[in-house]
Structure 1
């Protein structure tokens, strides 16, 4: 039986999560099967084709570069506010307040977008079994179930997510090894050279980076569970590196075999000839295994999205809790449930917000994927990239004041990671309309502007706290270890 440390009131449930639980809760946000089935065909078609595996390999190195400073700071600051806490301790309370609200905007918009995507996909998957319901019914069911899990203790969510993510990996690897066993297309497809740098720039490298980068969103959240992890000074760094490697190597291996299974010379022609390019993985599954595996992959795609929804819900609830605990939001947010020791107020508020957004999109008759998902989910990606850039700067500032750590992990690598993330942020912000299909209307600048606007609101909240309670302002983001 697991033993839990005795704690005071309004604290998160200590010693709840081990290395495996934290790792899988983080990977669940990346939704591996959703990336394989949904994003990768578009990365091939709109990006750099056979250069995608190498793109993933390079992005894995970029994420490991970012993680070096992130992990170094995680040993000094254990706080469920993650990006917020690092910004507050490194750059000061004003930056901390800005990042806190950016995080809430980013993860909520990502959550809202995924709610639409789940509803649209579930309607199609379950419709083939004769269960024809409106897309918003499936979204509603998901919101309620996610809300129940978020309201209760975190180890319950962890158990559910471990199972769902393990099944995602299993179904994809079954298809992978079937292609591997068959030798790829016409028995010669395995000759694809994933280290061919000429393939890297054979199409749009930028588009490929953006599609592939989405598969890493969530790896930053290991520190969110720092207050609830067992031995966080060891568990959080290990979970961070493990999740990056599991995601990166999985996608390098899988995208290589997706190319091999189709044939490198036929990849773009095949994808371009599909009415829906996201059917590519399911066609491969049926070709190299059988229709049952393809059908199971469709069902697991729905569970993959549910796992991602649950993960982002947990992030939002914890950021809300820390903001309430530190005085940025009303004090009620900074309380935990008397029995479950969960950040239940933030969980309930997020659930209500999701219901409102669902009602708006469903009521206006907008498409759950083309509108609800495509329009607003990239706001979340933009926000996370911006927070990663700020965090890299925070690491440098923190260790310049604090001392300690090697120059490589606290200066050189954070500078490199910060410059890369800042460049990506600027590019996505300036090209948001083209990336989301909102070009030509006001949404192309209103939607991405929510991120800097959130930063301004957060900064003003921090300044209000500084004026009302200077001592509390100075304690913003302090370690809870």
Structure 2
């Protein structure tokens, strides 16, 4: 389906990305290397040796969610991702709420990944003896400065660098995991760990604990949908974006299950091994140091810091595109919908995002905890819960648009997929409330609910200013009244 280009350069993003560029943003925001090096600790505290099972279950759940994103992106290309999609299906106010949820997710994860980069870089500096007493605020400040610099450049340059860095780091992590598994299987593990595959089934993990831990599995996949925010910067987006989404989930799922299996068996499935697992600040780095050499361990930790930095950069890029789309349509401030003339970067939206991230990091440090690791897990949990709400919103919109609105846009046999995704998300959210997790995690679902209610209140109170005449162009929305988008023109059912 052809789409007109915006008429005014001041509200137009540049179509200069290939499929690999879209993959680069999704993989970088997802950050498999960072996620596999720190995220599994909290699930291990909840389900013991069942961490690989958590990530396998998460992969299935994310694939159910991804179906809705893939199908919607085959029909609509919008810099606001689900903000634009939900706005087209349910109206602009509902679209604002969906965009608000996704914006909250990206802001929280920008804090998470910046803190994660600081954790890994601090661990590297201490482990190598370069700076034994380093305060994590120093590497966090350096990372934030780098994010600000690179995010202000066109997305094409950033995504190329992100993709190269993350793939290189994933290759290193995969090699370390392979060495660990071989040594465990052949009896060469330094702590005489055994190949206890039966322990990975975690028979003692009850379903509520398992699905509560799945929150961190979803956290590890969070960002797979980032490519959809590049719908107005990618060539042939109806094909490129679905391919990027599918490839990102499958690649990350296989990587997570393989690496977490090596981590669980490498540390050991007994109580002592699980204690080492849950207290490590660099899971793969510490394994590499024990199974290969300290130098390789330090290299892995440094690469994890780079991966976390790339993920934070991708969060900032995605959040700025989303905020740009909302501002362009007249929400919050129309000035957020401007782009910088020479390179098409949404500079005002980016500056707003960076300011929010800086305030979030500083506020967490001053008012909540001095620990960067705490900031990582706390902001990650809040962001994951908000993201689950956004995913649920997307699936509801996908069901209505694909199956219940006008011409059929997907095969009826596909309807159970988004329905199953909604049930999966619903149970994960329930498992995070009952039974209540330990403090402060027991309060985080209410923080996520408060963010949702704030978005609903803003949607009811705010009346967006009239957007520029081209605001809806090229994104699958109506080119008439910018306040009342309509469904895109029907296209043939997806194969």
* TM-score normalised to structure 1 length: 0.87
In structure 2, which of residues 451, 473, 481 is the aligned counterpart of residue 471 of structure 1? 481
How has the CA–CA distance of structure 1 residues 67 and 358 changed in structure 2, closer, same or farther, with 3 Å as cutoff?
Answer: closer
1:10 aligned counterpart, secondary structure: helix
In structure 2, which of residues 337, 356, 359 is the aligned counterpart of residue 334 of structure 1? 337
2:219 aligned counterpart, secondary structure: helix
Query: How far apart are the structure 1 equivalents of 2:413 and 2:230?
Result: 22
Query: How far apart are the structure 2 equivalents of 1:54 and 1:444?
Result: 24
Query: How far apart are the structure 2 equivalents of 1:407 and 1:200?
Result: 37
Instruction: Tell me how far 1:424 sits from its aligned partner.
Output: 2.4
In structure 1, which of residues 406, 409, 425 is the aligned counterpart of residue 410 of structure 2? 406
Aligned residue in 2 for 1:74: 73
Instruction: Tell me how far 1:403 sits from its aligned partner.
Output: 2.0
Aligned residue in 1 for 2:164: 163
Instruction: Tell me how far 1:409 sits from its aligned partner.
Output: 6.7
Query: How far apart are the structure 1 equivalents of 2:356 and 2:236?
Result: 34
Query: How far apart are the structure 2 equivalents of 1:464 and 1:432?
Result: 41
Mapped contact 2:122–2:134 kept (Cα < 8 A) = yes
How has the CA–CA distance of structure 1 residues 52 and 181 changed in structure 2, closer, same or farther, with 3 Å as cutoff?
Answer: same
Query: How far apart are the structure 1 equivalents of 2:248 and 2:44?
Result: 24
Question: Aligned residues, how many?
Answer: 468
Aligned residue in 1 for 2:354: 351
Mapped contact 2:332–2:464 kept (Cα < 8 A) = no
Instruction: Tell me how far 1:198 sits from its aligned partner.
Output: 4.6
Instruction: Mark the runs of 5 or more structure 1 residues left unpaired by the alignment.
Output: none
Where do 1:113-152 residues align within 5 Å? 113-128=112-127, 129-131=129-131, 132-152=133-153
1:402 aligned counterpart, secondary structure: coil
135-144 vs 320-329, greater mean Cα deviation = 135-144
C-alpha distance after superposition, 1:206-251 (max 9, x if no partner): 2431222211111122211111112111111111110000110111
2:231 aligned counterpart, secondary structure: helix
C-alpha distance after superposition, 1:402-460 (max 9, x if no partner): 322334575221111122223323443x3697366255xxx657633332223213422
Mapped contact 1:176–1:254 kept (Cα < 8 A) = yes
C-alpha distance after superposition, 1:100-132 (max 9, x if no partner): 222222221222233333334433322343334
66-75 vs 78-87, greater mean Cα deviation = 66-75
RMSD: 3.2
**Structure showing the higher helix proportion among its residues:** 1
1:229 aligned counterpart, secondary structure: coil
Aligned residue in 2 for 1:52: 51
Instruction: Tell me how far 1:96 sits from its aligned partner.
Output: 0.6
How has the CA–CA distance of structure 1 residues 333 and 42 changed in structure 2, closer, same or farther, with 3 Å as cutoff?
Answer: same
Aligned residue in 2 for 1:34: 34
2:389 is aligned with 1:386? yes
2:187 aligned counterpart, secondary structure: helix
Aligned residue in 1 for 2:86: 87
Instruction: Tell me how far 1:183 sits from its aligned partner.
Output: 4.8
Query: How far apart are the structure 2 equivalents of 1:330 and 1:370?
Result: 35
Query: How far apart are the structure 1 equivalents of 2:198 and 2:412?
Result: 32
2:243 is aligned with 1:243? no
Instruction: Tell me how far 1:137 sits from its aligned partner.
Output: 2.2
2:310 is aligned with 1:307? yes
Query: How far apart are the structure 1 equivalents of 2:99 and 2:130?
Result: 44
Query: How far apart are the structure 1 equivalents of 2:435 and 2:364?
Result: 21
Instruction: Mark the runs of 5 or more structure 2 residues left unpaired by the alignment.
Output: 470-479, 490-495
Mapped contact 2:12–2:344 kept (Cα < 8 A) = yes
How has the CA–CA distance of structure 1 residues 271 and 203 changed in structure 2, closer, same or farther, with 3 Å as cutoff?
Answer: farther
Query: How far apart are the structure 2 equivalents of 1:76 and 1:274?
Result: 44
How has the CA–CA distance of structure 1 residues 262 and 373 changed in structure 2, closer, same or farther, with 3 Å as cutoff?
Answer: closer
Aligned residue in 1 for 2:211: 206
In structure 2, which of residues 405, 429, 434 is the aligned counterpart of residue 425 of structure 1? 429
